[in-house]
């Protein structure tokens, strides 16, 4: 390997969950620096997302775009990551300015990279600059070196593959051996050609004896990585993983971990049973309650959905009886995988491959394209991973263009072939075109927001129509907000989740708030005030998980039986109490739940400021496509006409329903639009924002964020 | 008079059935049917803190009186990953 720059360093010891060091690498100048953080930094920014936000706020400007040299690729664990005694501590955050949204995006991902980075001496990495040649970074806590090296060249297939390349590199830097003392992040060929490239988190699974992959999937983090000329980062540390955080109170950590593990062991097997089925179990429940995003979110159910239910993958693909946690100590172990799956399509057709997944989101993305073939789900999963592109954005963007074709906005002349819902041949062809930057894939690789503009221009010119009018139609079913595609849930029937997606600072990804069942099914949020309160509380507590290096599933998807006796069971407070105990035992703090909500709110407001600076922080940026609120077209209304008429009768504020179905459909749309605007008003008020969705000056000041940049920004915004 | 019990997800695996039919009287309540399921499928955990009961896809209290042809299911808590 050709070394371009190397420094020696002394790894800082982890104490109370922190190293208090950030590794800064400038790929433009080749400079490598270790920044020692001031003592109050962790108090104010916690870790994970908080560290990434602070780096982006200080180091970029409103003009920074994903491929600007000053853009920062921040990778950060958190104080509570890296503890096998507590379940779900392998998470880390990748944060940057997104090629999709032009504002801050972060994606949380499991694996060993975050824990090993900390053991190698760093709470966070911040990569800036653009390299003239393709490079890799090696952080070696054992040899005490940090290296920028020319990216090793292998055969063409390996060089192009996000999985293959990272796998090969992890072996090469360790004398041809896999080891769980090493982990990597990598990006692939698809990230060069699309805006939604992912970053893989690669780690060695000692049970499956192979490298496994999880993804920082949303918002194009891999596209940023490849734009910097960076193919992979490898980290190594042979330090013991047990007590790796050197917690202040080891017994307290063990007690909190034991308590949470007991809840998981008792409750998960009788609830979702994620430990056996992974998140594919969700498909059945989403379909049952009209939430499965069939045909670009038009229909929430399909008679064919049963072909994609969890038992199909469990019976035919998943390896059985293997604990599949993505980090040591996790007894929820939802990271399911399959071995020796024979590919039947594409350039790797005929090969047998190992596949990590599918997760629910992958299954949903395939249903979104109207496809109900489990073998195609597996192959779509593998190809997206090997190319390094986001299964969600790929599926939703493809589905959008399928609908454009079916509604007559595009023709075979535009695409090159018939792109219809349910066509595996067309979807598969397009997938490879996206990854290779070929044919119509060059358009689809830009995502829905840019795709809408492309279609509007083409259609308006061809039909001598108004481009604005065409855009208005496309905005009804182009499923994006702020430039990011929706994750795989239909929100039409849950006003709270419409807010969960619309207000989400990064765009419509459910890791900020997922309130569909609480609202639509459990009916626990009957009033506008209840919904608004949930839209404040849940994003804050979820932010805390993303700041501390923790997986949320143990809290949010396994209901502690003791929660039933609390006032708000959906908050699962008895389980959260174990997390607070774990925090205090690790860091020596004496916090309660309100304290951590306050810590999170500071980060939330900082992210809001970045959005404001980047042009994505006002009420206009929180608006939803019509289909997220109501049946956008008459066919959708007709598919559940009785239900919608009943809804109008109960919620429409009218004495008598209009006579014609088309009038009822129109009225339904009006009511749903009105409701969402009322929700905006209630939520902004509760969050300390102006009616236009901007943070009030006193809100920013309350969290000690009113620095010079914030003052200027608020002045410019008239706040 | 009968109602249907629909088994979802892992319940289907544990019971080996997609659904079963349960005879009811005019006074039968959700709790009565729960008792029937518990006695026939003791492996299912149906305590209040573990599952929610739906009747015709709507959350139902356990003292709700059932009607013929109601469809009952037991829903785990789902709160999104």
Per-residue model confidence as pLDDT tens digits over A647-689:
999 998 888 999 999 999 999 999 999 999 999 999 999 999 9
Who among B49, B51, B78 is closest to A557 (CB)?
A: B78
* Contact between chains at B79 and A517 (C-beta distance less than 8 A): yes
| Joined tokens for residue B24 | 């009811």
* Contact between chains at A311 and B12 (C-beta distance less than 8 A): yes
Name the nearest CA neighbour of A70 among A80, A84, A55, A85: A55
Rounded Cα distance between A58 and A24, Å, is: 14
pLDDT at residue number B48: 78
How many CB atoms within 10 Å of residue A93? Answer: 29
Q: Which of A435, A461, A485 is the last residue of a domain?
A: A485
Cα three-residue angle A272-A274-B56, rounded to 5 degrees: 20
How many CB atoms within 10 Å of residue A304? Answer: 15
Distance from CA of A533 to the nearest CA of B (A): 16
Whole-complex ipTM: 0.94
Rounded Cα distance between A362 and A354, Å, is: 16
CA distance between the termini of chain B: 40
* Contact between chains at B59 and A281 (C-beta distance less than 8 A): no
Name the nearest CA neighbour of A449 among A507, A522, A364, A373: A507
Q: Is residue A251 situated within a structural domain?
A: no
Q: Is residue A143 situated within a structural domain?
A: yes
Cβ-Cβ contacts under 8 Å, B78 against chain A: 272, 282, 285, 517, 557
Task: Report yes or no: A104 and A97 within 8 Å, Cβ to Cβ.
Answer: yes
Please tell me whether residues A210 and A68 are part of one structural domain. Answer: yes
Please tell me whether residues A347 and A228 are part of one structural domain. Answer: no
The answer to whether residue A279 neighbours chain B at the CB level (below 8 Å) is: yes
- Chain B residue with minimal CA distance to A289? B57
Who among B50, B52, B76 is closest to A561 (CB)?
A: B50
Who among A267, A284, A510 is closest to B80 (CB)?
A: A510
pLDDT band at B79 (very low <50, low <70, confident <90, very high): confident
Per-residue model confidence as pLDDT tens digits over A102-154:
999 999 999 999 999 999 999 999 999 999 999 999 999 999 999 999 999 99
Q: Is residue A676 situated within a structural domain?
A: yes
Who among B8, B48, B50 is closest to A284 (CB)?
A: B8
Please tell me whether residues A518 and A647 are part of one structural domain. Answer: yes
Rounded Cα distance between A373 and A440, Å, is: 24
pLDDT at residue number B31: 93
Q: Is residue A258 situated within a structural domain?
A: no
Least confident interval from A18-27, A155-164, A273-282, A283-292: A273-282
pLDDT band at A527 (very low <50, low <70, confident <90, very high): very high
* Contact between chains at B77 and A271 (C-beta distance less than 8 A): yes
Per-residue model confidence as pLDDT tens digits over A148-202:
999 999 999 999 999 999 999 999 999 999 999 999 999 999 999 999 999 999 9
Residue A522 has pLDDT above 90, yes or no: no
- What count of Cα atoms within 13 Å lies in the side-chain half-sphere of residue A296? 29
Question: A599 CB contacts (<8 Å, ≥6 apart)?
Answer: A46, A544, A547, A591
Estimate to the nearest angstrom the gap between the alpha carbon of A112 and the chain centroid: 18
Residue A320 has pLDDT above 80, yes or no: no
Q: Which of A208, A236, A264 is the last residue of a domain?
A: A236
Rounded Cα distance between B37 and B39, Å, is: 5
Q: Which residues pair with A640 in a beta bridge?
A: none
Q: Is residue A584 situated within a structural domain?
A: no
Please tell me whether residues A304 and A204 are part of one structural domain. Answer: no
- Chain A residue with minimal CA distance to B6? A288
Question: A464 CB contacts (<8 Å, ≥6 apart)?
Answer: none
Rounded Cα distance between A439 and A561, Å, is: 54
pLDDT at residue number A590: 98
Rounded Cα distance between A275 and A375, Å, is: 22
How much of chain A exceeds pLDDT 90, in percent?
A: 95
How much of chain A exceeds pLDDT 70, in percent?
A: 100
Cβ-Cβ contacts under 8 Å, A557 against chain B: 77-81
Per-residue model confidence as pLDDT tens digits over A410-466:
999 999 999 999 999 999 999 999 999 999 999 999 999 999 999 999 999 999 999
Who among A271, A553, A557 is closest to B50 (CB)?
A: A271
Cβ-Cβ contacts under 8 Å, A522 against chain B: 52, 59
Q: Is residue A263 situated within a structural domain?
A: no
Q: Which of A485, A517, A548 is the last residue of a domain?
A: A485
Task: Report yes or no: A80 and A86 within 8 Å, Cβ to Cβ.
Answer: yes
SS3 state at A310: helix
Q: Is residue A452 situated within a structural domain?
A: yes
Task: Give the Å distances, CA to CA, from A183 to A94, A120, A154, A350.
Answer: 15, 11, 19, 29
Rounded Cα distance between B32 and B55, Å, is: 13
The residues spanned by each domain of chain B are 2-75
* Contact between chains at B10 and A269 (C-beta distance less than 8 A): yes
Q: Which residues pair with A74 in a beta bridge?
A: A95, A126
pLDDT at residue number B45: 84
A362 burial via Cβ count (<10 Å: 0-12, 13-18, 19+): buried
Give the pTM. 0.97
Q: Is residue A294 situated within a structural domain?
A: yes
Please tell me whether residues A606 and A459 are part of one structural domain. Answer: no
Per-residue model confidence as pLDDT tens digits over B12-58:
988 999 999 999 999 999 999 999 999 999 988 888 778 889 999 88
CATH of the domain at A472: 1.10.569.10
Looking at domain B2-75, its CATH architecture is Roll (3.10)
The answer to whether residue A479 neighbours chain B at the CB level (below 8 Å) is: no
pLDDT at residue number A690: 98
Please tell me whether residues A464 and A345 are part of one structural domain. Answer: yes
The answer to whether residue B40 neighbours chain A at the CB level (below 8 Å) is: no
* Contact between chains at A557 and B77 (C-beta distance less than 8 A): yes
- Chain A residue with minimal CA distance to B80? A514
pLDDT at residue number B32: 94
- Chain A residue with minimal CA distance to B49? A561
pLDDT at residue number B51: 87
Distance from CA of A361 to the nearest CA of B (A): 10
Task: Report yes or no: A366 and A283 within 8 Å, Cβ to Cβ.
Answer: no
Rounded Cα distance between A715 and A709, Å, is: 10
Structural domains in chain A (count): 3
Rounded Cα distance between A2 and A24, Å, is: 21
The answer to whether residue A566 neighbours chain B at the CB level (below 8 Å) is: no
Instruction: Please report the residues numbered 347 through 366 in chain A whose beta carbons come closer than 8 angstroms to any beta carbon of chain B.
Output: 360
- Chain B residue with minimal CA distance to A524? B59
Please tell me whether residues A225 and A172 are part of one structural domain. Answer: yes
Range of the domain at A208: 3-236
pLDDT band at A40 (very low <50, low <70, confident <90, very high): very high
Please tell me whether residues A338 and A460 are part of one structural domain. Answer: yes
Interface contacts (A, B; CB < 8 Å): 88
A70 burial via Cβ count (<10 Å: 0-12, 13-18, 19+): middle
* Contact between chains at B80 and A556 (C-beta distance less than 8 A): yes
């Amino acid at each position: 390997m050709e070394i371009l720059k190397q420094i020696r360093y002394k790894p800082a010891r982890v104490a109370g969950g922190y190293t208090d060091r950030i590794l800064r690498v400038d790929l433009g100048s080749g400079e490598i620096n270790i920044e020692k953080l001031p003592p109050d930094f962790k108090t104010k920014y916690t870790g994970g997302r908080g560290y990434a936000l602070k780096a982006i706020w200080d180091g970029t400007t409103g003009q920074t775009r994903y491929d600007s040299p000053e853009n920062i690729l921040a990778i950060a664990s958190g104080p509570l990551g890296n503890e096998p005694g507590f379940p779900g501590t392998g998470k880390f955050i990748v944060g940057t300015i997104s090629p999709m949204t032009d504002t801050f995006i972060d994606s949380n991902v499991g694996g060993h990279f975050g824990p090993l980075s900390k053991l190698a001496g760093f709470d966070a990495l911040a990569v800036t600059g653009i390299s003239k040649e393709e490079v890799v970074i090696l952080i070696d806590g054992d040899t005490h070196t940090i290296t920028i090296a020319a990216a090793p060249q292998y055969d063409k297939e390996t060089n192009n593959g996000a999985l293959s390349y990272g796998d090969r590199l992890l072996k090469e830097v360790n004398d041809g051996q896999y080891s769980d003392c090493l982990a990597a992040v990598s990006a692939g060929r698809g990230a060069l050609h699309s805006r939604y490239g992912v970053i893989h988190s690669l780690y060695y699974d000692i049970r499956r004896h192979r490298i496994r992959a999880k993804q920082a999937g949303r918002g194009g983090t891999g596209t940023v990585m490849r734009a910097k000329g960076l193919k992979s980062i490898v980290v190594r540390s042979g330090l013991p993983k047990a007590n790796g955080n050197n917690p202040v109170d080891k017994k307290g950590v063990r007690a909190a971990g034991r308590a949470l593990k007991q809840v998981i062991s008792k409750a998960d097997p009788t609830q979702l049973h994620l430990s056996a089925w992974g998140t594919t179990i969700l498909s059945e429940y989403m379909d049952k309650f009209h939430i499965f995003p069939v045909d670009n979110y038009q229909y929430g159910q399909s008679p064919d959905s049963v072909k994609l239910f969890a038992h199909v993958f469990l019976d035919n693909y998943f390896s059985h009886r293997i604990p599949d946690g993505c980090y040591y100590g996790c007894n929820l172990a939802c990271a399911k995988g399959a071995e020796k799956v024979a590919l039947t399509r594409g350039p790797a057709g005929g090969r047998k491959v190992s596949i990590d997944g599918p997760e629910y989101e992958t299954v949903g993305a395939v249903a979104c394209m109207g496809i109900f073939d489990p073998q195609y789900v597996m192959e779509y999963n593998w190809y997206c991973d090997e190319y390094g592109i986001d299964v969600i954005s790929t599926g939703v963007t493809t589905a959008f263009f399928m609908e454009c074709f079916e509604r007559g906005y595009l023709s075979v002349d535009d695409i090159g072939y018939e792109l219809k819902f349910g066509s595996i041949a067309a979807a598969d062809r397009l997938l490879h075109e996206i990854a290779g930057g070929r044919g119509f894939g060059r358009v689809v690789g830009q995502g829905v927001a840019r795709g809408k503009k492309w279609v509007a221009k083409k259609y308006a010119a061809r039909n001598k129509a108004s481009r604005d009018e065409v855009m208005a139609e496309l905005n009804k079913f182009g499923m994006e907000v702020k430039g990011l595609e929706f994750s795989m849930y239909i929100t039409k029937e849950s006003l709270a989740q419409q807010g969960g997606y619309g207000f989400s600072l990064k765009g419509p990804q459910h890791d900020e708030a997922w309130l569909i069942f609480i609202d639509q099914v459990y009916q626990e949020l009957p009033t506008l005030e209840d919904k608004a309160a949930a839209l404040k509380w849940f994003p804050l507590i979820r932010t805390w998980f993303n700041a501390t290096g923790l997986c949320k599933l143990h809290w949010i998807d396994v209901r502690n039986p003791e929660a039933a006796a609390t006032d708000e069971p959906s908050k699962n407070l008895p389980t959260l109490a174990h997390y607070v105990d774990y925090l205090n035992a690790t860091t020596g703090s004496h916090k309660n739940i309100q304290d951590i909500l306050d810590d999170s709110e500071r980060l939330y407001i900082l992210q809001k400021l970045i959005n404001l600076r980047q042009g994505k922080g006002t009420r206009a940026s929180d608006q939803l496509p019509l289909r997220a609120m109501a049946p956008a077209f008459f066919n959708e209304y007709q598919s559940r006409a009785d239900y919608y008429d009943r809804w109008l009768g109960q919620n429409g504020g009218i004495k008598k329903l209009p006579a014609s179905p088309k009038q009822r459909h129109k009225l339904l749309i009006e009511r749903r639009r009105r409701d969402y605007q009322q929700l905006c008003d209630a939520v902004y008020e509760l969050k300390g924002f102006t009616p236009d969705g901007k943070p009030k000056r006193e809100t920013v000041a309350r969290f000690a964020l009113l620095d010079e940049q914030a003052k200027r920004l608020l002045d410019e915004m008239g706040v | 008079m009968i109602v249907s019990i629909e088994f979802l997800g892992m319940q289907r695996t544990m019971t080996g059935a997609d659904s079963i039919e349960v005879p009811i009287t005019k006074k039968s309540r959700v709790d009565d049917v729960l008792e029937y399921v518990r006695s026939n499928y003791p492996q299912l955990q149906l305590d209040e803190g573990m599952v929610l009961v739906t009747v015709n896809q709507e959350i139902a209290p356990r003292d709700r009186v059932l009607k013929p042809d109601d469809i009952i299911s037991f829903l785990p808590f789902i709160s999104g990953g």
